[in-house]
Amino acid sequence: MRHTIAVLVENEFGVLSRVAGLFSGRGFNIESLCVAETTDPGVSRMTIVTAGNDQIIEQILKQLNKLVPVLKVIDFTGTETVDRELVLVKVNADGDGKAEVLRLVDIFRAKIVDVAPRCYTIEMTGGEGKVSAFLQMLRPIGIKEIVRTGKVAISRGT
């Protein structure tokens, strides 16, 4: 089962390496990882998506809580959250493909952020399913390059 875990850490060099090392040292995979500074410049927030059974996730949470630069660990599993992912995708825009790309951009509420003679670069945000569906619809047109941020999440309400 996939889990989304938020980890508040001290914003200093080497912290990302220690967290990633915890996962790799125990053979756990990180499916996505996003890190950025919070409203407090001394604190960063990591959003980690990983997979495992309840025992593995419990072990991950305990190990994360033991790391010195970790301030707080939140497992969003079973809680109400808002999550999004950002994707930048460069697609072919030749002939008939241009109209189809523009139609899909409109349907998925995406945005064209760069135009070249034969390709468009599109920005889209949404849940993981929406991003995947958008990319699946673009594949027949011809995707040249994809960059995905991975999931970021925040709890609903207060």
* CA distances, 44 to each of 49, 133, 144, 156 (Å): 16, 31, 33, 20
Per-10-residue mean pLDDT, the chain, length 158: 94 93 92 95 96 92 92 92 96 89 96 95 96 96 95 90
3-class DSSP assignment, residue 133: helix
Answer yes or no: are the C-beta atoms of 125 and 84 closer than 8 Å: yes
For residue 156, report the phi and psi dihedrals to the nearest 5 degrees.
Answer: -80, 155
Q: What is the pTM of this model?
A: 0.86
Q: What is the pLDDT of residue 1?
A: 86
Q: What is the pLDDT of residue 50?
A: 95
Q: What is the pLDDT of residue 121?
A: 98
Answer yes or no: are the C-beta atoms of 139 and 89 closer than 8 Å: no
Reduce the secondary structure of 55-110 to three states and give it as a string: HHHHHHHHHHHHCCCEEEEEECCCCCEEEEEEEEEEEECCCHHHHHHHHHHHHCCC
Q: What is the pLDDT of residue 123?
A: 98
